[in-house]
Structure 1
Amino acid sequence: MTPDEFIIKWQRTTLKESSAAQEHFCDLCQLLDELTPAAADPTGAVYCFEHGTIKTTGGKGWADVWKDGHFGWEYKSAGKNLDQALKRLQFYAPALNHPPLLIVSDMAQIIIHTVFTGTVPDQYTLTLNDLRDPSKLQLLKWAFSDPEKLRPIDTTAALTERAARQFSEWAAALRQRGHDSAAVAHFSQKLLFCLFAQDIGLLPNQLFTRLLENGLKYPAQVEQMLTSLLNTMAPGGLFGSEAIDWFNGGLFAEVQPLPLETADLKTLHSFTKLNWSAIEPSIFGTLFERGLDPKQRAQLGAHYTDPNSIMRLVAPVVLMPLRKEWQSVQKEMLQLKTAADAAKSPAVRDKQLTKLRALLTGMLERLNQFHVLDPACGSGNFLFLALKGLKDLEHEIILAGEQFGLMRAFPTVSPHNVLGIEKNHYAAELARVTVWIGEIQWMLQHGFSLSKNPILKPINIIEQRDAVVNADGSEPEWPTADVIIGNPPFLGGSKKRGLLGDDYFAALETIYDGRVPAGADLVCYWFEKARTQIETGKARAAGLVSTNSIRGGSNRKVLDQICQTTRIFNAWSDEPWVNDGAAVRVSLISFGEIKTPPVLNDERVAVIYADLTAGSSEIKMDVTTAKPLKENVRVSFQGTKKYGAFDICGDLARSWLQIPNPHGHPNSDVLKPWRNGKDITGHVSDTWIIDFGIDISEIQASLYEMPFQYLLDHVKSYRETVRREKTRRKWWIHEEARPGLRRAIKGYFRVIVTSLTAKHRFFVWLSTQILADQALIVISRADDTTFGILHSCFHQLWSLKMGTSLGTTPRYTPTTTFETFPFPIGLTPADTASHAIETLESGAIIPSVASEYRAHAIAIAEAAHQLNQLRNHWLNPPEWIDRVPEVVAGYPDRIIAKPDYAAQLKQRTLTNLYNQQPAWLVNAHQQLDQAVAAAYAWETELNEAAILQRLLQLNLARCASYIE
């Protein structure tokens, strides 16, 4: 059939849809040289007319024509509303396997709607005469044979980022002119909703665009026009000759337009060209919030957490348990339907159908009463995705009810199902807008008319307040909900006091004493609150995000408690995430009373432990049960935390060392070489630090003229801005001066140090004349035996298992990695605590130990000494360097590269060495491992699981011996 023949035939027809639809479609197939449904698929499994016809009721199918993976096609008689046909296809799209194209047609036109996931929808309208145009005909051909060719280029993510950026920049310009940030945010959110409402047809006839165009003509009147529109949208009514629906919902309760300049209006008018109906609420809220909040402005262009990542919590906590319930109900319904169809008595049949309807109604009511709480809801992306998932499930159930021959229900899941707590007022208000937009989008995209009077139902369930501390210092109550989800704030335990203030920190310590360790990250309080809600019956389960450091250290104690009172049933131990625009590594943890087999990192396991590792049925080994050993305490310490510009360059320090002071004491009292993590893993920088110890008074400190004046100029004003009272008051002292560390290393000439975070776990010697930074962990021992044990594969494996990580980089947390590690008997830190040491002929140093353990101490020390010598020779070949004494005796010599070797020496770092793993290094470590294995009386060929199991048994046995 030619285009002309097709056009002539169908121009003349006056047949109704029921009489003409299938013949019209078959003619199209002939025109496009495509097989008809019956010819292409005789079984009708993937391509047919009247797909989904309900046999029991004789009702119409889900689509007049359906081709799986291509389209759903719905016909209407000439002159009938094709929008209604589209709504029908949208409603039945899940039953049609979500085809990428929804096509509606009468005999005079064909409209193709693209609905590819994650894209901005396109629409192609073809009249009969358009079929003479090969390019238009090609569109239809692609619909039948290659729908991917119709996939829109613009994605909803790209559109959303563009819209959020442009609108946020517009809002920033208003703030720069002196308008209050909160007023700009409120005004912006109202205008945002106007743009959205216009594009979905709630503001008729491009009303908002016309208002802006009139505003450009009459700038003096624009504030009055906007006030009038927004005031009309609150109760509904007439705006000029246009009827406006009742919006309400609180968004338009207070209308305070800001004065707009011509440039503002032009920019705002340009926004109307964007398709606001297609913005993605799950990411728009986050991006828009950053633009409205001046504190987050720098993150506007940063990445956001993608919806798929959020669904790793929403799915197991919210949706999968409900789907399991629905599967059970569906099975019962099928049994009742079968019994009803087989019943010979009308009374029996009616009884079965009554039960059938009750089951469906009960499941729908279950969803209607289901509540999800996000106690750190931000701009609402978790709540929106949870609501969307609940509505999708409800829609599936409604469709199933039709298939069972029951009357179609109207969806009742709505914003009332989601609850939120959010401290930030920008985010709290935006969360409501996000949920509103998401609800409206979903209803329209699934073929439902909007519930009105008002359109925006009040959302009073997103509370603006703190979730873990009340203003009066008491513990807040969380609303009862079925489940809890969210992404609580990430703030390291060491930063809490400085950023939150002494009062808030003290309140946390008081409220959560015995429940959350004082040194734990802020996110841990949300985990403990959620655990308490589950324990007291106010929630069934929770799914929360944390930095992956929750797996170890003091943080893990909250997961220990969770495992004691409930269970972790789903977790992702170490995943990429974006938090406040920054890329981080997180753990996603779902816990509570949901009865489902545990899943860790998308794999079924027997049990999930508190460190987010899996147990198996073969080996019962939970290393999180390991406890600190008393012989290991007060041995490992974190270096000092300066909190201010106490560090200075070496040349400046040397110049001060030669300057006398009024009281006759040298500046060497308060100047020390300084080392941080990069100095250990990379190259040593020539950095010194001003260190006034732990208790020197300000008057005493001032007598060291040059160092004190430097702190006056560079530290004091900075310290005055912090919240912690002690940090402000003693501004010349390091914020964490570590008195315990200073006592522990007194009397030692050297100590063992390792970087807090490092790709490779190695240890080095550090002179006690050098001050260690907080990025270093200091082990207060000077003997090679302890050095060797720490460097063995046994401690390496234990520290990886028991530590945490920063991103993908392992983190050495002393409380869990060192204090729990069981040293070989006779060689524990307590046994070697004395400063009494012995230097062997080789130069290796052993501690004073009992005679029966001396041979093992020597073997380990010799191997460790050899390893250290080899490494030092590789790092600093004598032929390449000069050793220069410091200007004051007692400090370690400086290592200076000879002129021709600076570039080569720069590549000699411990990180590079352990990346390369040369044979000599591997052999040296193997020799050391053999010596340590002999001290344990273990064979040397143990696998990792066996090593961990034996170390755990040693730990638990020693803990038990304390009790005995």
Structure 2
Amino acid sequence: MTPDDFIRTWSGNPLSERASAQSHFRDLCALLGIDPPSPLTAGTFEFEKGAGKTTGGDGWADVWLKDAFAWEYKKTKANLDAAYAQVQRYAPALDHPPLLIVSDTQAIVLRTAFTGAVQERHDIAIDDLRDAATRDLLCRAFEDPLSFRPRRTRADLTEDAAATFADLALRLRQSGHAAGEVAHFVNRLVFCMFAEDVNLLPEKMFQKMVIVSDPASFEENCRDLFRAMATKGGKIGYTPIPWFNGGLFDDETVLPVTADDIGMLRKAAKMDWSQIDASLLGTLFERGLDPDKRSQLGAHYTDAAKIMQIVDPVVLRPLKAEWEAARAIIAAALQEERDAKAEAARTRAAAKSGAQTRRANRAHETAVKAHLGFLERLRAVRVLDPACGSGNFLNLALTALKDLEHRVSLDAEALGLPRPAPQVGPECVLGIELNPYAAELARVSTWIAEIQWMRRNGFEASKDPILKPLGTIECRDAVLGADGTAADWPAAEFIIGNPPFLGNKRMVGELSEGYAMSLRAAWPEVPGGADLVAYWVAGAWQAIAAGRTRRAGLVTTNSIRGGANRTVLTKPAEAGAIFEAWSDEPWTVAGAAVRVSMVMLGEPTTNSRPRLDGTEVERIAADLTAGLDLTTAERLGENKGVAFQGPVKVGASPAADYANDPRAEAIAAAAWVLNEKREAWLNPPELVRREPEVVEGYPDRILPKDEAAAKELKKRTLTKLYNARPAWLAGLHDRLDAAVADAYGWPADISEDDALAHLLELNRARAAR
């Protein structure tokens, strides 16, 4: 078929959607030189893909090509935006194809749907198909759909937006405005631009407002807009404004701005705010709004996949298991309904037929009850982040819960039940955050995440008001109450989060001596030498032990595995309640790469074993190891006066007995070489100079040769060296390990688990003497 043949056949097509869809698509395939769907392509390339296969109704997409596109047809001159909303709603059931395409035979609209990427749109009118480049573009949708992936990510867009508003926030702070006022005002502006780009604010109202460069006029117009958004029935002139409220527009306060500020807002308003990444928005804007965190602008942030390592096992996994059980009940009940109806149709006896009809009705009621009951249960879920920061954990948890609710409805629809509108909303997430900047950003980003999810899945945002109050995200101390007692947490089925990292020895300097003393007095179950994060672990375990919480998952410092910190994991470990853990994982804190432990506590599982670092194990000990519980090792009396801790020597008898032992000499030689090579990497001769210390007997001072050397030396830390672990370093450690193994009479290649087992055995034998 030639382009002219195709255009002549389909121009002004008067047929209905059902009458024309498959014929149009087959002709389009002929035009593009592509084989259309057939019985041979079932499961990969189909017409009427989806629910129709089970219920006898229409499919979820008129055409579906696996890992490529879902294509929805409408009759000529129909609303293609409605068609797009429909295909969005069913995208999860179609394995989230990267392209979503709608057509009315006169036009084709192709939209990209790649996770994390800015969406792009391609509009093709029927006459455009004469152009070979246009036909090539359509061919790519079939043959190379990944080529449509946009280069610009939503994270890129969000970073640009955050950097822009950071400058405005800084100028407003330098003008003498209080930090809280600046954050509140800037968040309002951000939300107005987002609301405009998702068509909640009509007629590009904010963009029109910033075209005026006169600051006084801008401030007056801003007040009018905020007032209209705060009240039901508000108007700007003759234009009705939706009711937003939610606490963000609680008054009409506007901070004074300059003409330069308005110019910046004019530029920002042209960005596509509908596509900003809500899970990053809070983090990036907090860095810009909070003077203490501006140095983190441009630094790394934690990606969603890392956060989901906690959200998935803690929140989603048990809920999905519950749904699978409910789904089995629904499937069995609907099958019984079908069987009863078939039996009623076959029988001639009226009484018997009536019994089968009643049986069918009871079965249907059972299925409906199981479906709606699970949805109600899902809407009652509460997820608490007691150190929520600017809300990235809460945003991802909310999105995951809404995804699950939508999946449940699609599953039920495939079985033959009606699909209700989504009801899971921001009220499902609870937060506690001390920093007022972060607390407000958590609320704003959660609202945005909710609205984006609704739009992305083909639903309208909630109304009257659009923004439901989010008093569930509280601004207060999460571990110490105003009365000096341990702070209360709201009841929640699940607890997740990334509590603050602050070492025990820095708590007094950072938090004040009075606060640190009060905190320790309020939490007697947490030892005095524990890091700050341990108080959140203790709080989560208290909530679980008291029955207020089902599961918890927290990111902690990897020092949680030892010393005083480990104490807060002793009781959960003894109860078999550490059901999953990642002992040593990369993470980002305050823009810096660190190593952390992720610990998940809760109800012991009966049908699956604990998982440590992604592998099933028999149990997880308090030190986040499997198998051997090294926390049971005892102090040995015979070592008193012999061993030493660091440079604080408490025994001198470390050393004369072993000075001439060949095994000790081998260990010393290996350790000396390791230290020399490591020191040479940390302080290479070409970058440093050595000067004698003022006090005789102390090591030389190591100083950078110049400013360039100083910058380079800052990059050379033991943490970075060991995170990279180059081959030479690994080899030197292997040599030292082999020397130590030989001293014990072990093979050089002994595994770490075997070595620990031998040491524990020696410890127990000596302790028993």
User: What corresponds to 1:903 in structure 2?
Assistant: none
Alpha carbons of 1:943 and 1:566: their partners in 2 closer, same or farther (altered >3 Å)?
closer
Alignment of 1:68-83 (within 5 A): 68-83=66-81
Residue 626 (structure 1) aligned to one of 615, 618, 633: 633
Contact 1:484 1:539 (8 Å CA) reproduced = yes
Given residue 541 of structure 1, which amino acid in structure 2 is its aligned partner? R
Tell me the secondary structure at the aligned position of residue 100 of structure 2.
strand
User: Matches of 1:371 and 1:404 in 2, distance apart?
Assistant: 28
1:45 offset after TM fit, Å?
1.4
Alignment of 1:289-688 (within 5 A): 289-343=286-340, 344=343, 345-513=356-524, 515-595=525-605, 596-615=608-627, 621-632=628-639
The separation in 2 between residues aligned to 1:60 and 1:923, in whole angstroms, is 68
Distance 1:309 1:21 in 2: 43
What is residue 228 of structure 1 aligned with on the other side? 224
What's the CA shift for 1:627? Answer: 3.2
Matched AA of 1:626: A
Cα-to-partner distance string for 1:885-915 (whole Å, 9 max, x where unaligned): x99998479899xxxxxxxxxxxxx999x98
Provide, for residues 160-206 of structure 1, a one-character-per-residue CA deviation record: whole Å limited to 9, x for no partner.
11111112222222222322222111000000000100000001121
**May I ask how many residue pairs the two structures share in their alignment?**
723
- DSSP-derived class of the 1:539 partner: coil
What SS does structure 1 have at the residue aligned with 2:96? coil
- Are 2:576 and 2:620, in contact at CA under 8 Å, matched by a contact in 1? no
Compute the displacement of 1:363 (Å). Answer: 1.0
Alpha-carbon offset, residue 34 of structure 1: 1.1
Give 1:53 deviation, angstroms: 4.1
Report how far residue 574 of structure 1 moved: 1.0
Identity percentage of aligned residues:
46
Q: 1:565 to 1:476 in 2, by over 3 A?
A: farther
Q: What letter is aligned with 1:318?
A: V
Q: CA deviation at 1:630?
A: 4.6
Q: CA 1:267–1:870 in structure 2 vs 1: closer, same or farther (change >3 Å)?
A: closer
Tell me the SS of whatever aligns to 1:37.
coil
1-side partners of 2:201 and 2:64: how far apart?
34
In the alignment, which residue of structure 2 is the partner of 1:700? none
Give 1:545 deviation, angstroms: 0.3
- Judge conservation of contact 1:541–1:594 (CA < 8 Å) in 2: no
Task: Tell me the residue number matched to 2:651.
Answer: 781
Aligned residue number for residue 243 of structure 1: 240
Task: Describe the SS at the equivalent of 2:580.
Answer: strand
Mapped to 1, the partners of 2:693 and 2:595 lie a distance apart of 45
| 2:33 partner amino acid | D
| Deviations 1:780-809, CA, capped at 9 Å, x for gaps | 3334xx34xxxxxxxxxxxxxxxxxxxxxx
The 2-side partners of 1:873 and 1:181 are apart by 48
Whether contact under 8 Å (1:103, 1:111) holds in the other structure is: yes
Compute the displacement of 1:462 (Å): 0.7
For the residue of structure 2 that corresponds to 1:169, the secondary structure is helix
User: Residue type of the partner of 2:219?
Assistant: E
In terms of fraction of residues, the more helix-rich structure is: 2
Q: Aligned partners of 2:32 and 2:750: how far apart in 1? A: 69
Contact 2:55 2:415 in 1 (8 A): no
1:939 deviates by 8.9
| AA of the residue aligned to 2:400 | G
CA deviation string 1:287-340 (max 9, x = no partner)? 111111000010011110000000000000000111111112112222222222
Per mean C-alpha deviation after superposition, the further-off stretch among 307-316 and 866-875 is: 866-875
The separation in 2 between residues aligned to 1:426 and 1:873, in whole angstroms, is 45
Partner deviation per Cα, 1:807-864 (whole Å, 9 max, x = no partner)? xxxxxxxxxxxxxxxxxxxxxxxxxxxxxxxxxxxxxx23xxxxxxxxx896479747
Distance of aligned partners of 1:516 and 1:251 in 2 relative to their CA distance in 1, 3 Å threshold: same
Verify the 8 A CA contact 2:674 2:732 in the aligned structure 1. no
The structure number with the bigger radius of gyration is 1
Q: Deviations over 1:469-522 (max 9, x none)?
A: 112211111111111000000001110111111111111221122x21211110
CA deviation string 1:764-790 (max 9, x = no partner): xxxxxxxxxxxxx4333334xx34xxx
Distance 1:922 1:89, change over 3 A: closer
Instruction: Give the AA of the match of 1:2.
Output: T
1:945 paired residue number: 753
Q: Distance in 2 between matches of 1:591 and 1:873?
A: 40
- In 2, the alpha carbon distance for the partners of 1:373 and 1:268 equals 35
Q: What is the match of residue 17 of structure 2?
A: 17
Deviations 1:406-458 (A, max 9, x none): 12111111111111100000001110111100000001110112220111111
Q: Within 2, Cα distance between the matches of 1:183 and 1:554?
A: 41
Aligned twin of 2:137? 139
Displacement of 1:560 in angstroms is 1.8
* Equivalent residues of 1:933, 1:940 under 8 A apart: no
Deviations 1:111-163 (A, max 9, x none): 11111111111111111121122222222121122112222221111111111
Please report the TM-score for the alignment, with normalisation by the length of structure 2.
Answer: 0.88
Whichever residue aligns with residue 763 of structure 2, its letter is N
Match of 2:200 in 1: 202
Higher RCO by CA contacts (8 Å cutoff, separation 6 or greater): 2
Render the CA deviation track for 1:39-69: whole Å, top value 9, x for unaligned. xx53521111111143564321101111111
Contact 2:587 2:594 in 1 (8 A): yes
Could you say if the C-alpha distance between residues 129 and 362 of structure 1 is closer, same or farther in structure 2, counting changes exceeding 3 Å?
same
1:933 equivalent in structure 2: 744
Q: Counterpart of 1:832?
A: none
Q: TM-score, normalised by structure 1?
A: 0.71
Aligned to 2:7: 7
CA displacement, residues 79-100 of structure 1 (integer Å, 9 cap, x when unaligned): 2211110111000001111111
Distance 1:167 1:888 in 2: 50
User: Residues 574 and 449 from structure 1, CA distance in 2 versus in 1: closer, same or farther, beyond 3 angstroms?
Assistant: same
Letter in 2 for 1:5: D
SS in 2 for 1:15: coil
Task: Say whether the 8 Å CA contact 2:169–2:182 is kept in structure 1.
Answer: yes
Shift of 1:25: 1.1
Measured after TM superposition, the shift of residue 562 of structure 1 is 2.2
Amino acid at match of 1:201: N
The residue that corresponds to 1:45 in the other structure is 43
CA root-mean-square deviation: 3.2
C-alpha deviation, 1:13, in angstroms? 2.3
Q: Name the counterpart of 2:188.
A: 190
Q: What SS does structure 2 have at the residue aligned with 1:102?
A: strand
Q: Secondary structure at the match of 1:610?
A: coil
The one-letter code of the counterpart of 2:69 is F
Counterpart of 1:585, as a letter, is: R
User: Structure 1 stretches of 5 or more lacking a match?
Assistant: 616-620, 639-752, 754-776, 788-844, 847-855, 877-885, 897-909
- Gap regions ≥5 residues in structure 2: 344-355, 680-691, 703-717
Cα distance between partner residues in 2 of 1:219 and 1:873 = 64
| Structure 1 position 949, deviation (Å) | 1.8
Alignment of 1:841-860 (within 5 A): 845-846=656-657, 859=661
Quick one: distance in 2 between partners of 1:632 and 1:329? 60
